[in-house]
Amino acid sequence: MPKHTFTVNGEKVTVKAEDSVRLLWVLRDILGITGPKYGCGINVCKACTSHINGKAFNPCAVPVGQIKPGDEITTIEGLAKNGRLHPMQQAWIDHDVAQCGYCQPGQIMAAVALVKRVRKEGRPIRNADLDAIRNICRCGTYDRIRDAIKDGAKRMS
């Protein structure tokens, strides 16, 4: 069985798995990192949204064989640094966003990447950006998600 070495939440890991196993299952079933959730398995619900080298991606759609040794994966568990919540997580708490909470790790990871992306483009977040978020929240917390993203963006320096 092939070995795969990469970094998850700041820690170097090595796992044995067939190349084709999607990273979501390597994280959840082999490494026991359960923050990224399963909701569809075909990259449409976005519940597993995490970061690879700082960009939002969906590990349900990435075979582990495509992950390179230098790649840095961040899941929701790795977003808080040194015991301090990421400003977006704090915004989520302050706006009491979650209901069942199942989609929220993916929502927060998508939100952080969105803020970074529009910053790079040198512009503020627009309603059109929020309209384009594909992460499903079946509890329908969308309104609070939008408020928290705008607020979290202000707090991200």
Partner 1 sequence: MAESNEGHAEGLALDRRRFVGYVVAAPTLAVAARVVVADPASAAPIATPDGFAEFMDLGELQNLAAAPTANKITIRVNRDGTVSFALPRSENGQGIVTSTAMIIAEEMDIPVKRVKVTLADARPELIWNQLTGGSNTTRSTYTPIRTAAAVAKKRLREAAARELGVDEASLRTVDGAVVSDDGRSLDYGALTEAAAARETTAVEVELKPRAAFQVIGKGHKRTDAKAAVTGKKKYAMDLKVKGAKPTMVCRPPTINGKVRKVLNRAQVLEMPGVTHVVTISTGVAVRARTFGQCIDAVRALKVDWGPGPLDGLSDGDILAELKAAEVPLAVPPLLGKAVDGQFTFWFAGNSALETNCAIADVRADRAEIWGPLKVPIAAKTLIAQKLKLPEKAVKVHVIPGGGSFGRKLFHDAAMEAAEASQKMGKPVKLMWHRADDVRQGRVHPMSTGRVRAIVLGNQVTSFEQRHTSVATDFSHGFGEIITAFAGSLPVGDLGFSQTIFALSQSVHYNFGVTTQLLNEVDGRFNTGAMRNIYSPNTAQAREVMVDKIAATMKKDPYAFRREFVRTPQSRAVLDKVATVGKWGRAMPAGMGQGLAIHNEYGAFTACLVEIDCRPKTVGRKVRDAVTGPRVTKVVIAVDIGLPINPAGLRAQMLSGAMDGIAMTLTSSLHLRNGYFLEASWDNYAYTRQWNTPPTFQAIIMPATSDVPGGAGELAVAPVAAAVATAYARATGTMPTHFPINHKNPLHFKPKPTVPPVPQSPVNGLDLAR
What part of residues 34-73 is at the interface with partner 1 (CB under 8 A)?
Answer: 34-45, 47, 52-53, 55-63, 66
In whole angstroms, the minimum distance from the beta carbon of 61 to partner 1 comes to 3
How far is residue 16's CA from residue 2's CA, in Å, rounded to a whole number?
A: 6
Smallest CA-to-CA distance from 58 within 138, 152, 135, 145 is with 135
How many residues lie near partner 1 (CB under 8 A)? 79
Smallest CA-to-CA distance from 97 within 36, 135, 146 is with 146
Query: Would you give the end-to-end CA distance of the chain in angstroms?
Result: 43
In whole angstroms, the minimum distance from the beta carbon of 124 to partner 1 comes to 17
Task: Name which of residues 95 to 124 contact partner 1 (CB under 8 A).
Answer: 96-105, 108, 113, 117
In whole angstroms, the minimum distance from the beta carbon of 99 to partner 1 comes to 4
Question: Among 74, 125, 141, 153, which residue interacts with partner 1 (rule: CB under 8 A)?
Answer: 141
> Going edge to edge, which strands form the sheet with 55-57?
11-16, 3-8, 72-74, 50-52, 55-57
Task: Name which of residues 12 to 31 contact partner 1 (CB under 8 A).
Answer: 17-18, 20-26, 28-30
